[in-house]
Structure 1
Amino acid sequence: MREPVVYMMASGRNGTLYVGVTSNIRERAWQHRTGLVPGFTKRYGCRFLVWYELHDRMNEAITREKRIKAGSRIKKLALIESMNAGWRDLYEDFAP
């Protein structure tokens, strides 16, 4: 799947959040899940894909990512709750 996506990974329900952007959500989420990507998500255990938003163009996705990152934690939680109230790991939606 090659499509610009803004996404959030979490360490658990109401846990540590990470906001990112990618053109391949399945591969990127797998990298976070397995700890393949060194840095924030590995350090804080952000392994669960809890929210995503598809975009037509990468520049739009990047702009949206920056807005979300600049927003409050409460706004990030509201985005997650609006799409995924049960905090289900959405990676399964993309897994082969």
Structure 2
Amino acid sequence: MKHSYTYILTNKYRTTFYIGVTANLSKRLIEHKEGKASKFTKKYNVTDLIYFEEFTDINQAISREKQLKNWHKEWKINLIKKLNPTLKTLDY
């Protein structure tokens, strides 16, 4: 079964957030770190994974990404802190 992911990245100061979706999270994280994935993440040095959700259907992951992108920043931070209270960089 193929998995998909909705994920949130941030910068080292935890002030800027990026929400994305992918079928291969580890590959996508490497692309972000190398500056090849997104102009936004490259410009603002947003490469630290602090939150992700796993789905079995890519359409669910895309829907969740769209939902989270419409949330207020405070709501996103509260969601992240439920699973990652210190906003530490996650290993994946």
**What is the TM-score when the length of structure 2 is the normalising length?**
0.90
What are the ranges of 5 or more consecutive residues in structure 2 without an aligned counterpart?
A: none
Identical aligned pairs, as a percentage? 31
Paired with 1:79 and 1:24, the residues of 2 have a C-alpha distance of 22
Whichever structure has more helix as a proportion of its residues is 1
Alignment of 1:85 onto 2:85: yes
**What is the TM-score when the length of structure 1 is the normalising length?**
0.87
* 3-state SS of 2:9 partner: strand
Structure 1 residue ranges (4+ consecutive) displaced by more than 4 angstroms after TM superposition: none
Partner of 2:63: 63
**Contact 1:14 1:77 (C-alpha < 8 Å) held by counterparts:** no
More moved, 45-54 vs 76-85: 76-85
What are the ranges of 5 or more consecutive residues in structure 1 without an aligned counterpart?
A: none
* 3-state SS of 2:60 partner: helix
